[in-house]
Amino acid sequence: MSIITQAPAWLIIFCLLAGVIYAGALYFRDRFNRNYGSALATILGVMRFACVSLLSLFLLKPLIKTIERTLEKPIVVIAQDNSASVAVGADSTYYKKEYAERLRQLAASFGDDYDVRSLTFGEGVHEGIDTLEYTEQYTDFSSLFDDITTRFSGRNLGAIIVASDGLYNKGSNPIYAYKKLNAPVFTVALGDTTVHRDVLIADVAVNRLAYLGNRFPMEITIEGRKAGGETATLSVSRKGNVLFSQSITFSGERSFHTIPLTLDASEVGLQRYTISISRVNDEITFANNSRDVFIDVLDSRQKVLILAHAPHPDLNAIREAIASNESYKVDLKLAKDFNGNVSDYSLIIYHQLPALGNGGSSIITSAMEKKIPGLFVWGSATDFNAYNGLSTGWSLGNYKNNATDVAGSFKEGFSIFTLDTKLEGLIRTMPPLQVPFGDYSYSNSVQPVITQQIGSIATSKPLIGFNTVNDIKYGLIVGEGLWRWRITAFQQTSAHDAFNELMTKCVQYMASKDDRSLFRVSAKNDFTENEEIVFDAELYNASYEAIGDKEIAMRIMNESGENFSYQFSPRGNVYQLKAGKFPVGHYKYEATAISEGTELKERGEFSVSPLQLEIVNTIADHRLMQQFATENNGVMVYPSNLEELTERIRNAKEIVSVSYENKQLDELINYRWLAVLIITLLAGEWLLRKRAGTY
């Protein structure tokens, strides 16, 4: 701690001099001190000197400078792979017991000199290594390194120890996924690189949707490891009936066989197909000898027409997003070339139509007469005088023939359909759309899903919204530039899924026929075994007003006839049920609600598909673990040599504690104890003077 002044320090001499002059003039004018005596005069003079000097010092605006030093120990992160592939085979007991204990001893061996943080990873990242079950259904190194970066970036990260078999089936290669944190990476090579005898279903390629009466293709890849000379039978069955069968003879150390086949879609609904390969002697595991796939057989596919004034990068972005959903067939046409029948389509997307020069107006008029829903996308070529005459609920006057950049944010309380919470957050990071500049207005019946945000100012104006006029659904995307959203979504998530979900949800709502039922339940029809089962429900009264305060019961039945009961939770004017994770299988559900004395029921079905990524490849990749450690200034060890890591990290000169300084400046006048001191000195002086008989 030290004192500094904002004025030159030599002025402190004058502060002290002022105290001396003031005290001397008051108490030492008469050197015989007839009033007080020499001793009392000295005490009173010192007290007055201290008060005056301190008060004068405040005129120099003195500051107290404090320096606080903290010592941060080096952080050692131990990340343990908790996926199923680690414990496949004969060593599963070793990894769950003996190895787990050795790993805990490794963490304890660093003592109090290091800050040891233990994590497990697989499907997600979790703290602690006390319980290793090896049940995670996939391995994602990317999520591990993102988590480490979030937790320890800017900290004294000394070393990272990654214990894994090197097998990953989600995210990027760990060598490329790792973000450099100036910390060496040490690896522990788990699993077995020995090729054991195994016959397995390596891959199944099939569309999840098929249409009634059609034949759909399926391609199955079978792998044999050390099964030379063995013969196994591949079969595909449904409801206990074998639909396809073929014998396969394996040769060599490793052999692959790809079998293409076609099956009939003869029954509507979710259909479960079981693919199995018969066992051979001495296989390391039988868990990968069978696999279930679920095919949703539909009656028909809806057609969507994208009609454009001119080529534009938005068109392909929209088409690819909609085409990602097998329920839709997408046609892309320029308005000048379209000669089809609008009645063939469930939805028409008008990109910058009607256009200047009367482009596309006749097609739009024809579609509106036939009550075909329309989703409009505004742009620089849009004829806004013609558009305003369509009476869709939006209008733009005084168009200035230029555009402004407008970002978007998710509209809280939007209930037409639900979006993933991650997507809701992602929308805020999307680049702005180019919105035509003019006097924008919209009717009160418009329901925005994304609202406009100009700079940091959020508005209630729709950027993407929906309206219904004369029983026809209309939608509007106020600007162009959706292709940038698609690219940004891929950059941030390594997939187009987020953008695809936004567009397909909009299309699903626009293209769906109005459901006039008072009770509706919606959910996906196919989940994976590590995915939470989520249902949404809506309840209406006779006037089709949403009701949000009733009890809705849900009963889910598995294939064995067991029932599981749940209750929906209200969420505004809609309801939601998170039922948790279910085992692989086919399920039926029945939801029940009572409204205005009437019992309403909704029934449906869904499937839970197996996630067998971890048992397809059982051969550990120690070369990857070696390369990963070498490229990041570390070494690879085996479980039997874990103590070598402790020695190397302790001997590393760059892995040391770091001292941080925190400097702080505070004005001296802010210290209350100084005010107390000055008041005490003045009060004491006054009491002594009064006791001496003067004032």
Tell me the DSSP string of 394-421.
EEEES--S-EEEEEEEE-TT--SS---H
Lowest-confidence segment of 13-22, 509-518, 571-580, 621-630 by average pLDDT: 509-518
The amino acid sitting at 621 is: D
Q: 556 and 604: one domain?
A: yes
Report the SS3 class of residue 322. helix
Q: Are residues 600 and 634 in the same domain?
A: no
| CATH value at residue 595 | 2.60.40.1930
Range of the domain at 682: 2-68+664-691
Say what the pTM is.
0.54
* Paired residues of 157 in beta bridges: 75
Number of compact structural domains in the chain: 5
Nearest to 219 by CA among 278, 275, 138: 275
Q: What is the pLDDT of residues 25-79, one digit of tens each?
A: 777 765 545 566 677 778 888 888 889 888 888 888 888 888 878 888 999 999 9
* Residue 614 domain-assigned (yes or no): no
Asked whether residue 296 is assigned to any structural domain, the reply reads no
* Strand (E) or helix (H) holding 151: helix 141-152
Reading the block at residue 648, the tokens are: 């190397």
**Each residue of 340-353: pLDDT tens digit?**
999 999 999 999 99
pLDDT tens-digit series, residues 451-462: 998 877 888 899
Residue 402's φ and ψ, nearest 5 degrees, are: -145, 175
* C-alpha closest to that of 322 among 503, 509, 511: 503
561 and 637 share one domain:
no
Average pLDDT, the chain: 87
294 occurs within a structural domain:
no
CATH number at residue 137: 3.40.50.410
User: Are 426 and 492 contacting, i.e. CB atoms less than 8 angstroms apart?
Assistant: yes
Specify the amino acid at residue 639: P
Strand order of the sheet with strand 254-264?
Answer: 198-206, 215-225, 254-264
34 against 369, higher pLDDT: 369
R_g (Cα) of the chain, nearest Å: 37
Rounded to whole angstroms, the Cα distance separating 77 from 632 reads 15
List, as own/partner pairs, every contact residues 118-123 make where C-beta atoms lie below 8 angstroms and the sequence separation is at least 24, other chains included.
Answer: 118/77, 118/78, 118/80, 119/77, 119/78, 119/79, 119/80, 119/144, 119/147, 119/148, 120/79, 120/80, 120/81, 120/82, 121/79, 121/80, 121/81, 121/82, 121/147, 122/81, 122/82, 122/83, 123/83, 123/530
Do both 21 and 94 map to the same domain?
A: no
Q: Is omega for the bond preceding 354 within 30 degrees of 0, making it cis? A: yes
Nearest to 376 by CA among 415, 399, 348: 348
Task: Using the structure block, give the residue that is written with the tokens 């001191």.
Answer: 677
Rounded Cα distance between 394 and 241, Å, is 57
